[in-house]
Structure 1
């Protein structure tokens, strides 16, 4: 008896309310009740694809991102197909998208050539798939929100977020630290620490934050807690543990995001209007133009550049409304996401999800992820 693929029925009520689809248990073809289900049962090729998709999904079914992706696919794509051909195309794309992608070795500087002739990078607008991960509590008095760190560890995404305000008396940010883990836990956000003085970077929230004093290392999140204007202590939280953070004699420090993991250096010109975005390399003399001044028409207003750990690519905000990526190996510049509901984007942070290129960011008080449809 053939089984029709559907999302698992073990999801808690909170997830069902969060998602736009009420999932049902796997059912056999004798219980097929929709035209799509009957088409799958009658077609050997679709039945095989259905079983293949179920097999692919099995290894990632405990990861919330992919449950959200599957929920959307079932409702808006698969179940809207009216022909076998449409269903076959839909299954092929979804199987490819959910299958693990091997990450190619990161090119070294010697593998990267200088683009000559002052030609700009090829520019594309290819919106990635955007997923709402979680909503911050948005507690009274919270006016500042930052993604502090995001990393995939043993296949599981962990994101650390701060929400609070600037305490002028302490000359530090005060508020709450949260952890988002991409698995079927409730609540979605775990509160690491509440109402603390938080010291996360030399100039947290600025375009160039300077050296960073909070980050993930060996499966733990290290940060500095400010006790008073002149007192700091190191703290460590084991990711995913939901245990209280402990004092730590080990202090975390890394270079600014614009320098950490960098393959090239970046320059942002200024000349009456927003100038060129350029890159240079330590092993080659000269510069290459990533983007010309005034293109797109609104000009370049570049914030928060950050390099990928695994790819020769950096990401940045253009103003507060769009996220761009620039690949210095294939010389492409792509707009990958934009703000919704007139909100402001904060801290686009690259991660790898199942081998795919992705970016975690805040849009107002919503934690989001944009994930590449192409690899």
Structure 2
């Protein structure tokens, strides 16, 4: 929160200096003030400082407007925050916060394991309050017979978010999952979901859908999504789909294989001890002896029931479900523990997957058959 306040103060100073520099120049907002019709629009046009803020926000939004997530966030901000203001001060505060959020963030270099120190004594991680913006990205078709849903891969490629989702059921005769593969592309100029393949046997991991899925046989490489299609109980073939192409997948001689999400980018080891019905969460490091307690048995929630730990590729942070309806993050560098989001509409959460959006920390996940993303407002 202290960092957020410093950033907001810096933004205010920048805008104040900008206003002083341009005070002798005729200023206008990013929209046509001759057509201003609402009280908020008129206040912006009548205030040089608000006009500067509006222009600044417009410039920041230009490179992001083709991305659906930011279009939704900007529309929601206009309706629920800026346009609900009655005073100039309220409008100014709304602009300061939105300018801060839309500004690109530089991601700090990820520390290696040897750079991270073991927390001394019996101290536990600090529960840190952060604000997260939740955006509904897409709704899966939820076709008849679809009872299983998984996020297979999620990655930002050339600043554009791509998510691969499977929806279907387990076929005991084939001993594999059967269903549809979908691609979500965070872009405004297309339908939000594209069907990559329909009614196929999909082989994505040794134990797809389990807490630790083991080795993965589906994933992203050089702008394409590789997966194994199961033709029969004993026959598989490699397939590749070029991201964003909307072309049919092609057979590939290249077979994808990768460590599990739980281990792939790990900075430390994790243990989930048992104490009564639930256990405490601990971390350990290969370069030093001992353990540190991330969370004790009964705090900050009543018990821990840990599922699906997954490490960020860019941060010393892992994310996990506690039970089926909350997502948490733990940062092993600054020793903080944060609740990211809770399920809505009494639904269940699946596959929290970390990504970076405009440099900001974000988590893509399924809430029932809704594909969602939570973006950190504090950086």
Q: TM-score per shorter chain, which class?
A: over 0.9
Q: Once superposed, which parts of structure 1, at least 4 consecutive aligned residues long, lie more than 6 Å away?
A: none
Kindly indicate whether the alpha-carbon contact (under 8 Å) linking 1:2 and 1:28 is maintained by their aligned counterparts in 2: no
**Greater per-residue strand proportion:** 1
User: Aligned with 1:140: secondary structure?
Assistant: coil
Greater CA deviation, 125-134 or 328-337? 125-134
User: Aligned with 2:264: secondary structure?
Assistant: coil
Q: Tell me how many residue pairs correspond in the alignment.
A: 354
What is aligned with 2:136? 132
Measure, in 1, the Cα distance between the counterparts of 2:315 and 2:301.
Answer: 29
User: Aligned with 1:285: secondary structure?
Assistant: coil
Measure, in 2, the Cα distance between the counterparts of 1:127 and 1:36.
Answer: 26
Measure, in 2, the Cα distance between the counterparts of 1:150 and 1:309.
Answer: 12
What is aligned with 2:5? none
Measure, in 1, the Cα distance between the counterparts of 2:350 and 2:302.
Answer: 19
Deviation at 1:3, TM superposition (A): 5.1
Deviation at 1:109, TM superposition (A): 1.2
What is aligned with 1:49? 53
Structure-to-structure mapping, 1:194-209, within 5 angstroms: 194-209=198-213
Structure-to-structure mapping, 1:9-24, within 5 angstroms: none
Gaps of 5+ in 2: 1-25
Deviation at 1:185, TM superposition (A): 3.1
Kindly indicate whether the alpha-carbon contact (under 8 Å) linking 1:142 and 1:163 is maintained by their aligned counterparts in 2: yes
User: Aligned with 1:299: secondary structure?
Assistant: coil
What is aligned with 1:14? none
Please provide the CA RMSD for this pair: 1.1
What is aligned with 2:6? none
Judged with a 3 Å threshold, the aligned counterparts in structure 2 of structure 1 residues 110 and 297 are, in CA distance, closer, same or farther, namely closer
Q: So what's the TM-score if we normalise by structure 1? A: 0.93
Deviation at 1:4, TM superposition (A): 4.1
Deviation at 1:249, TM superposition (A): 1.0
Kindly indicate whether the alpha-carbon contact (under 8 Å) linking 2:279 and 2:304 is maintained by their aligned counterparts in 1: yes
What is aligned with 2:222? 218
User: Aligned with 1:56: secondary structure?
Assistant: helix
What is aligned with 1:79? 83
Kindly indicate whether the alpha-carbon contact (under 8 Å) linking 2:130 and 2:378 is maintained by their aligned counterparts in 1: no
Kindly indicate whether the alpha-carbon contact (under 8 Å) linking 1:316 and 1:323 is maintained by their aligned counterparts in 2: yes
1:239-290 superposed Cα distances (whole Å, 9 cap, x missing partner): 0010110111111111111111110010000132311100000111111000
Measure, in 1, the Cα distance between the counterparts of 2:171 and 2:144.
Answer: 14
1:308-362 superposed Cα distances (whole Å, 9 cap, x missing partner): 0000000000001000000000000000111000000000000000000000000
User: Aligned with 2:66: secondary structure?
Assistant: coil
1:188-243 superposed Cα distances (whole Å, 9 cap, x missing partner): 10000000000111000111111111111111101010111111111110100101
What is aligned with 2:373? 369
What is aligned with 2:104? 100
Structure-to-structure mapping, 1:267-286, within 5 angstroms: 267-286=271-290
Gaps of 5+ in 1: 6-26
Whether 1:318 and 2:309 are equivalent positions in the alignment is no
What is aligned with 1:359? 363
Measure, in 2, the Cα distance between the counterparts of 1:364 and 1:3.
Answer: 45
**Greater per-residue helix proportion:** 2
What is aligned with 1:9? none
Measure, in 2, the Cα distance between the counterparts of 1:133 and 1:297.
Answer: 29
Choose the corresponding residue for 1:266, options 249, 267, 270: 270
Whether 1:247 and 2:251 are equivalent positions in the alignment is yes
User: Aligned with 2:72: secondary structure?
Assistant: helix
User: Aligned with 1:72: secondary structure?
Assistant: helix
Q: So what's the TM-score if we normalise by structure 2? A: 0.92
